[in-house]
Amino acid sequence: MASSDRGQATVELLAAMPLLLIAGAIALQLLLTGHALTLADGAAEAGALALAAGRPAKSTAEGSLPAWAADRAEVTVQGGEVTVRLAPPSLLAVIGDRLAVTSSSYARSAGR
């Protein structure tokens, strides 16, 4: 390989580096969003099970989330429905808010 070919390959790699970093950041954000959805699903189900057992659904759902997620979660209980809205971690807060996931679970109250 000639010296000029190696120099050209280096320039091409440097030119492609920002695109590779952007692709990696997008992939990481998608993974974090999927993880947030899994956490929201589990929290909604925990809240619904607590509701069915006659225990407080909101505190149970909030307690089933890790500390970082509890600060980003909104839990609502209406009738037999427990809904958890969770914003995933993100490099930019605006993106995290727009990618917020919601999960709901239903249960009959203990008295029904």
Q: What is the pLDDT of residue 20?
A: 93
The whole-number pLDDT of residue 3 equals 58
100: exposed, middle or buried (Cβ count in 10 Å: 0-12, 13-18, 19+): middle
Tokens of 75: 């839990």
Domain that holds residue 89: 3-106
Residue 24 pLDDT greater than 60, yes or no: yes
Total number of domains in the chain: 1
pLDDT over 80 at 111, yes or no: no
Predicted TM-score (pTM) above 0.85: no
Q: Which of 80, 86, 84, 75 has its CA nearest to residue 48?
A: 80
The verdict on residue 112 lying in a domain is no
pLDDT of 45 over the 90 cut: yes
Amino acid found at 105: S
